[in-house]
Amino acid sequence: MITLRPYQEDVKTAVYDHLRTRDDNPCAVVPTAGGKTPIMASICKDAVGLWGGRVLILAHVKELLEQTADKLKVVCPEIGFGIYSAGLKRRDTQNPVIVASIQSVYKKACELDAFNLIMVDEAHLIPLEGDGMYRQFLADAKLINPELRIVGFTATPYRLKTGPICTPEGFLNHICYEVGVRELIRDGFLCPLISKAGRAKADMSSLHVRAGEFISDEVESLMDQESLVNSAVSEIVEYTAERKACLIFSSGVQHGQHIVAVLREEHGVECGFVSGETPIPERDATLARFKAGQLKYLCNVNVLTTGFDAPHIDCVALVRPTMSPGLYYQMVGRGFRLNPSKENCLILDFGGNVLRHGPVDEIKVTTSDRGDGKAPAKECPQCQALIAAGFATCPQCGYVFPPPERQQHDPKASEAGILSGQVTTTKFRVEDVYYGIHTKRGASEDAPRTLRVDYRVGWHEYKSEWICFEHEGYARQKAIAWWRKRSPDPVPDNVERAIEIIEGGGLAPTLAIKVRSVAGDPYERIIDYELGPMPEGIHASEHPEFDPDEIPF
């Protein structure tokens, strides 16, 4: 029997609450490798065992069907479940729980009969418009049972062309629960990621964008240049000398085969290769060898972005650029799974993706799958590490970044007082926040340090303050008050601990600040803040039991 993690129990409770209190359909956002399948298996157990319902789980790849079936056997062996998949040569139709491939059943709703609950894995694949397989099947299933409820699960709740997958008119209407990558890494449920950029940079200025993504032929032609392939492969071999398993994403079939050939001919190592054109028996055999540790390197062309479970992957090489934060997330997410053989997973980025989209735990997509134009990451000039823009010191090599560049003149007319002593108060919307350790110039080694906080309020325009966790008296009391407004976690005793909690997502975001300036005084003062929601503390509260007699659908 599987015991759900605390956040998995939270997801299940949120789904039940939504189904009981609302008439529309929920979606739960759980990161790749965060364990969506055990949650679905537990819901199946409740739906059939407690409420006598009938459940269908829809997925789009064979690997996801097999994973779900395996989890169902562990969580609820007493419940009869079937599989409907041409690829697995199974066509069960009468079971209380059926795991099905959408490609096999999208025209077979009547054959499968009525369901009370349908759960969709990788729910971002449900299109918002048109007559795709998911829309066709779900529309038919609702005709058979108008009371049908649909629950979606995904790590990326947006699509490339149409944006958010939850809309009032769609099959999924509301995100009922969302847990982030940062929290799960902090709590030890996902493997930490580190990243480095390639030394040889491709010039992507000539690439064109169509429907929100780079044109594939142009990308492959650019990335398949001899010098770029040779450089990328050399770095992959160099950085993976002590690593166990490297998954490579290429820009196309020809490019992938070029990478495989250079690995074999120039470095004497074997690399497997799979694409959409690879025959299924050959693909299955190659993936089996990689999972068994018989192949260290595996190159693919966009076919292992979802549903591929190989926990020992400790390096992912992105030898392709993408404009899609969803695809970027799915690629690097192959390294999230925990495994005793690895301490972290290295992301080698040869396509500028981390700088384009930012750290994977900070992806924000609102109206489209194209990002927001900001560059919330930076490259260390000393070791090529790709890190969050807020770091003042590179955590991998210790390089100290120069402080943010202040502009020499204001971008708009100043509102400062023209007479000495005149007080001006201005509210600024905060675009980003940077945290760093500040040591007073000339201070002794044991002198207390401060947390320097730089609020970006415009293009190269910053407002700063210093929080004195390591001081005593009034300065420490002010730091305690500042922290308690922003975090449920204990007030840190030193700046390192403060930054550790902040980088782990333990601080409420600052949305706006109010700054007071006095004409003639060179120093401004931040006097008020508009904060976002308080994060949950590290120690989650107990989850209330739900009433098994209250049917949620």
Please name which of 484, 544, 540, 491 lies closest in space to residue 187, comparing C-alpha atoms. Answer: 540
pTM: 0.66
State which of 184, 218, 241 marks the end of a domain.
Answer: 184
Q: Are 42 and 123 found together in one domain?
A: yes
Q: Which residue has the higher pLDDT, 514 or 88?
A: 514
Residue 62 backbone dihedrals phi, psi, to 5 degrees = -60, -40
Q: Report pLDDT digits (tens) over 5-14.
A: 999 999 999 9
If one counts the domains in the chain, the total is 3
Is residue 240 one of the residues assigned to a domain? yes
Residue with tokens 């940077």: 434
Mean pLDDT over 161-166 rounds to 74
Q: Are 220 and 282 found together in one domain?
A: yes
Structure tokens at 364: 């924000």
Q: Given a cut of 70, is residue 418 above it in pLDDT?
A: no
Q: Are 429 and 294 found together in one domain?
A: no
Q: How far is CA 56 from the centre of its chain?
A: 27
Q: Are 82 and 159 found together in one domain?
A: yes
Is residue 1 one of the residues assigned to a domain? no
Q: Are 74 and 130 found together in one domain?
A: yes
Taking phi over 0 as left and psi of -120 to 50 as alpha, with beta for the rest, 287 belongs to alpha
Domain that holds residue 464: 423-531
Q: Are 164 and 22 found together in one domain?
A: yes
**Contact in structure between 405 and 396 (CB atoms under 8 Å):** no
Q: Are 366 and 248 found together in one domain?
A: yes
The DSSP symbol for 537 reads P
Taking phi over 0 as left and psi of -120 to 50 as alpha, with beta for the rest, 215 belongs to beta
Is residue 479 one of the residues assigned to a domain? yes
What distances in angstroms separate CA 531 from CA 438, 480, 513, 525, one per listed residue?
A: 23, 16, 9, 17
Is residue 547 one of the residues assigned to a domain? no
**Contact in structure between 100 and 85 (CB atoms under 8 Å):** yes
Is residue 219 one of the residues assigned to a domain? yes
Is residue 406 one of the residues assigned to a domain? no
With bands split at pLDDT 50, 70 and 90, how would you rate the model's confidence at 132?
confident
Q: Report pLDDT digits (tens) over 395-408.
A: 666 677 776 554 44
Q: Are 213 and 131 found together in one domain?
A: no
Domain CATH number, residue 300: 3.40.50.300
Is residue 405 one of the residues assigned to a domain? no
Q: Are 158 and 234 found together in one domain?
A: no
CA dihedral angle for residue 178, residue 182, residue 185, residue 188, rounded to 10 degrees: -60
Q: Given a cut of 80, is residue 36 above it in pLDDT?
A: yes
State which of 144, 160, 184 marks the end of a domain.
Answer: 184
Q: Are 248 and 344 found together in one domain?
A: yes
Residue with tokens 């549903």: 307
Q: Report pLDDT digits (tens) over 314-326.
A: 999 999 999 888 8
With b for 16 or more beta-carbon neighbours within 10 A and e for fewer, the 400-438 pattern comes to: ebeebeeeeeeeeeeeeeeeeeeeeeeebebebbbbbbb
Q: Are 239 and 334 found together in one domain?
A: yes
Residue 527 backbone dihedrals phi, psi, to 5 degrees = -115, -10
Q: Given a cut of 50, is residue 91 above it in pLDDT?
A: yes
Bridge pairing between strands 55-59 and 117-121: parallel
Q: Which residue has the higher pLDDT, 52 or 2?
A: 52
d(CA 528, CA 196): 38
Q: Which residue has the higher pLDDT, 234 or 364?
A: 234
Q: Given a cut of 70, is residue 223 above it in pLDDT?
A: yes
User: Angle at CA 441, nearest 5°, toward 440 and 443?
Assistant: 70
Report the 10 Å Cβ neighbour count for 63.
15
With b for 16 or more beta-carbon neighbours within 10 A and e for fewer, the 470-499 pattern comes to: bbeeebbeebeebbeebbebebbeebeebb
Is residue 69 one of the residues assigned to a domain? yes
User: Angle at CA 190, nearest 5°, toward 185 and 193?
Assistant: 75
Q: Are 43 and 78 found together in one domain?
A: yes
Pick the range with the lowest mean pLDDT from 282-296, 459-473, 535-549: 535-549
Structure tokens at 27: 């979606």
- For the chain, the maximum distance between any two Cα atoms, rounded to a whole number of angstroms, is 84
